[in-house]
Amino acid sequence: MMRTKTESDILGLILKHFPLSKDIKLEHPADPQYGDFSTNMAMVMAKDNKENPRSVAQDIKTKLLSDIKINEGDFIEKIEIAGPGFINFYLHKNYLLKQAIDYNFDLEFHEKMATYGQGKTMVIDYSAPNIAKPFGIGHLRSTNIGQAVYNLYKLLGWKTIGDNHLGDWGTQFGKLIVAIKKWGDKPVLEMTIADLERLYVKFHSEAEDDESLNEEGRAWFARLENGDKEARALWHDCVTISLQEFDRVYQLLGVKIDYTHGESFYETMLPDVINELKAKKIAHESQGALIVEFPSMPPAMIEKSNQTTTYFTRDLATIKYRRENWHPDLVIYEVGADQQLHFQQLFATAALLGWQPTEGFVHIAHGLIRWKTGKFSTRKGDTIHLSDVVEKAMEQAVKISERTAVGKDLTKSEQKVMIEAVAIGAIKFSDLSSDPHKDIIFDWEQIMSLEGDSGPYLQYAYARCKSVLAKSKIKETKDVEYISDPLTAEELKLLRTFYLFEEKIVNAAESFNPSILANYLIDLARIYNEFYAKNKIIGTEHEILRIFLTQTTASILHTGLTLLGIKTVEKM
């Protein structure tokens, strides 16, 4: 785990006197009343020397205190010994204030955060919807999580490359061509994605009774791969109308992916990959097909017995292409958990080929989005389409705008901006606020709730901060750098929450889990709301400090939500 500035400050203090062993931990106590950080070092050292841990802790405390000027309050407020010998550190309010100031200056904040990545390169493969199929909510999840992970790494100073590995090649296009030829009633370019989807669904229901259809589908895919003119033209038209639809979706989501190299992009690179696999004796023939075998997994198919290539081979070519062109240190795939085996086989094969990036491959295997009725799949024709979800979210956002206090004062165009930001924000937040590996239940009431853990709740908290700031005459809050007055409990609690922002960003990136950041933002908003309820802001002696706290809350919410790909609105 990369260390944050505060952790380094405390470890630096300890290291002046004591060596650190790997058993020594520096953590946040579960209950903040025990301080901001806590270490078990006294217990570890006492055990090694068979001493009493509490008296070892006392000695350590005395040594550390000799190094800090407690009275000047520039770093630590107090050090306490607790329980069997924990040493607890309480950060000083002026140290916390200084850290908080950073968050109010975009440039300084970005500079500080960018030191983490040290110019390393990361490639992330996300979104990747399939041509001729509507953009479903599984791909929505990949898009949202993938974009958030991309944003986090970018902030941390990595060179980040997003690549949309569109599903635009494979046997399914053979099947689709069969369906278009048999049942299509107009030229493909005049069809919608929904028309194509219906044809695809029809193919599967007909093929249940007529196996020869599948045979025909495979044959058409072989023709497509061999460059057959008619097959290529039909395929090309399907790609065109799909891309139009996907662009509309990305625009709505405010997502822009650096590259879109679909599977078909790798066509010409496949022979090289296949030759290398054969030359290195990694792949071998089995019943006319070419496969890779593994000690503890089923084999992966490189080439089928009719000489067509596979999703797997195209993914290998993709790895090779990215290696040769982008030289990534880390390669991340944001793809559903149902492809776990595929990626395990893929990473194992890449390792055999010596194609592993220095920091490895990661598969963020996201769970399903469930409705009350369970999983949805295209084959049965009961997919949940993104457009239906967005439409419903918009309806609910309209209701929110009618309920909030300022909603009525907004102009028509402000209202429109707000409704769209709230609707899209709500959908994204529901994807991002739980661990990607877990399934999520799509529950409209919770997603759109102004009180609960939701996107609108955060947007509302941000708008509240903005309205407080607009009401105060104080525009300059740098004077807070040193505060001699005691703080109220709520003021201190906010300060003790701010500095964690940096660490949450680092943790979220390192564990490929944006929900760490999302949940932190919810905590912050709750703590701000508590502060707001109990501390009058305007016209009090603490107005400067309280405006500063409000401004810092707003900055963190804004930066955090932007990292999650969620828009804020000034009024709500």
Residue number, 122 or 335, with CB nearest to ligand ARG: 335
Whichever of 165 and 428 has its CB closer to ligand ARG, that residue is 165
What is the spatial distance between Cα 127 and Cα 144, in angstroms, rounded to a whole number? 8
Which one, 303 or 315, has the nearer CB to ligand ARG?
A: 315
* Residues 147, 153, 155, 161, CA torsion sign: negative
Shortest Å, Cβ 334 to ligand ARG = 8
Shortest gap between Cβ of 166 and ligand ARG (angstroms)? 7
CB nearer to ligand ARG: pick between 366 and 546:
366
Of 361 and 528, the one with the shorter C-beta distance to ligand ARG is 361
- Nearer to ligand ARG by Cβ, of 165 and 385: the residue is 165
Task: Using the minimum distance from each CB to ligand ARG, give the nearer residue, 133 or 466.
Answer: 133
Residues linked to residue 309 through DSSP beta bridges, in sequence order: 303
Cα end-to-end span (Å), the chain: 38
Q: Under 8 Å CB-to-CB from 174, ≥6 apart: which residues? A: 216, 217, 218, 219, 220, 221, 222, 223, 224
Least spacing, CB of residue 315 vs ligand ARG, in Å? 5
Q: How far is the CB of 342 from ligand ARG (least distance, A)?
A: 7
Nearer to ligand ARG, 125 or 245 (CB): 125
Q: Smallest distance, Å, CB 446 to ligand ARG?
A: 27
Residue 100's closest CA among 557, 549, 558? 549
Closest CA to 218 of 270, 167, 273, 176: 176
Residue of this chain nearest to ligand ARG (CB atom): 167
Q: What amino acid occupies position 311?
A: Y
Nearest to 140, CA basis, from 239, 241, 242, 249: 249
Token couple for 6 = 């505060």
Q: From the CB of 261, what's the least distance to ligand ARG, in Å?
A: 10
Tell me how far, at minimum, the Cβ of 147 lies from ligand ARG, in Å. Answer: 15
- Are 184 and 197 in contact by the 8 Å Cβ rule? The answer is no
CA gap 149, 308 in Å, rounded:
35
Output 188 or 335, the one with its CB closest to ligand ARG.
Answer: 335
Closest-CA residue to 526 (of 571, 460, 429): 460
Instruction: Please tell me what DSSP assigns to residue 267.
Output: G
Distance CA 444, CA 424 (A): 13
* C-alpha to C-alpha distance for 386 and 4, rounded to whole angstroms: 39
Strand order in the sheet with 121-125: 159-163, 121-125, 330-336, 361-366
Question: Which strand (E) or helix (H) includes residue 159?
Answer: strand 159-163
Rounded to a whole number of angstroms, the minimum distance from the CB of residue 202 to ligand ARG is 20
SS3 32: helix
Q: DSSP readout, 210-243? A: -THHHHHHHHHHHHHHTT-HHHHHHHHHHHHHHH
Residue 143's nearest CA partner among 163, 126, 119 is 126
User: Which one, 42 or 331, has the nearer CB to ligand ARG?
Assistant: 331
CB of 352 to ligand ARG, least distance (A): 18
Least distance CB 332 / ligand ARG (angstroms): 11
Q: Which is nearer to ligand ARG, 165 or 571 (CB)?
A: 165
Q: How far apart are CA 419 and CA 408, in angstroms?
A: 13
Distances in Å between the Cα of 376 and the Cα atoms of 137, 144, 434, 565 are: 9, 19, 20, 26
Residue with tokens 């290529």: 232
Query: Where on the chain is the footprint of ligand ARG (CB under 6 A)?
Result: 125, 128, 130, 165, 167, 315, 318, 333, 335
Q: Which residue has the tokens 């030759």?
A: 275
Report in angstroms how near the CB of residue 435 gets to ligand ARG at its nearest: 20
Q: Which is nearer to ligand ARG, 116 or 169 (CB)?
A: 169
Torsion sign across C-alpha atoms 281, 282, 286, 291: negative
Tell me how far, at minimum, the Cβ of 378 lies from ligand ARG, in Å: 10
Q: Which is nearer to ligand ARG, 167 or 436 (CB)?
A: 167
Residues in the chain: 572
Residue 361 makes CB contacts below 8 A (sequence gap 6+) with 331, 332, 333, 343, 346, 347, 350
Q: How many beta carbons lie within 10 A of that of residue 536, not counting itself?
A: 10
Task: Identify the burial level of 446 via C-beta atoms within 10 angstroms of its C-beta, where 0-12 means exposed, 13-18 middle and 19 or more buried.
Answer: middle
Q: Which is nearer to ligand ARG, 65 or 297 (CB)?
A: 297
CB of 37 to ligand ARG, least distance (A): 40
Structure tokens at 142: 């990949």
C-beta of 361: minimal distance to ligand ARG in Å?
Answer: 11
